[in-house]
Structure 1
């Protein structure tokens, strides 16, 4: 009996350790599940510069192979070709960035469902979307997000810019050189923005 009690006591740390490891693994998996869920992107612009209120709180849309900030209808007519960003993280073929991140995809149509890769044009630094063949010559990742607020990052940092190109037209750029898009954008209003993943509203007929 004494031997049995001693054996049980000796086994307790191992049991506790195994239970804790399983619990931590489940917790990690729950935290990572969001990466594979389709999410919209919301734009935040904390600048006090002219134009910031126009895009602050706007959502990201896809239009003509580029990503734009959708502004209220009062600031510009809605574009019929706009498609609301609905994307998630996905390993990019033949790329392994480890813990630094993954590729990023978004739907480009609802019916039929179709995905494209999100990438940064290596020449212009515009954020675009396209097929694998279209994206391969450009910056395709690693995309990631901050742990707490789920703000999007690329290459480990946030360098996203919105550039005004006309009434209600604000395409997104990535300031890869961290110099305010010097040499890429000329004589246009440039505002630093944050892109935050927001869970899509769940409809009645949506699956689990």
Structure 2
């Protein structure tokens, strides 16, 4: 069963911990720490823009740019290029402490009723997916999720301290998001016979008012 804001509000110790962390970040911000300012915005909702890594060829960059993350068929995928209103729900994410863990996880609304799921990495395939807490806790990778300040002043979403995300295009032309946990280009994790292109990407937050 998916969960909503009311359910999350009942987890008082978790939210209290998060509040303390955010208060500490706010205090650091007064000292001029730009990264602390980014951390203080963790509970603000955002869409997610996919940026091709500078290491990619121009062809790959052109293929991946101008896309946002969407939720489709239980996994996190990339929208079509320049698609402002995709037919599938756009990732609308923010950070929350993951239950019984000492780190933040990432949640997203999954519908217009603002029901929430956790975003996590499948431990077997390394594909980024979404589901309930019960599903996420079945040995999958739920964090630590974090933020890094970019050179242009925006922020990008990291996992386990780095942005090892990859977009993989299947034979139908759809791009899915993966996390290169072993830093080996997803060796043995993707089926090359059904894969057209692979791109290293970064995930930039697009803040919502």
TM score, norm. by length of structure 2? 0.74
Q: CA deviation at 1:51?
A: 3.9
Runs (4+) of structure 1 moved beyond 4 Å? 23-26, 28-31
- For 1:104, what is the secondary structure of its paired residue? strand
1:175 is aligned to 180
**In structure 1, distance between residues paired with 2:37 and 2:94:** 16
Report if aligned partners of 2:166, 2:200 keep a CA contact under 8 Å in 1. Answer: yes
**RMSD over aligned Cα atoms:** 2.4
- Residue aligning to 2:98: 92
- Partner Cα distance (1:184, 1:26) in 2: 41
Aligned counterparts of 1:32 and 1:79: Cα–Cα separation in 2: 29
User: Per-residue deviation at 1:54?
Assistant: 2.2
Provide closer, same or farther for how the CA distance between residues 183 and 136 of structure 1 changes in structure 2, counting only shifts above 3 A. same
Provide the C-alpha distance between the structure 2 equivalents of 1:107 and 1:122, rounded to a whole number of angstroms: 22
More strand by share: 2
Unaligned runs of 5+ in 2: 1-23
Q: Are the counterparts in 2 of residues 35 and 89 from structure 1 also a CA contact under 8 Å? A: yes
d(CA) in 1 for partners of 2:191 and 2:185? 11
Choose from 192, 196, 205 the match for 1:197: 205
Is 2:42 the partner of 1:35?
Answer: yes
Distance 1:167 1:186, change over 3 A: closer
1:66 matched residue in structure 2: 75
Corresponding residue SS for 1:34: coil
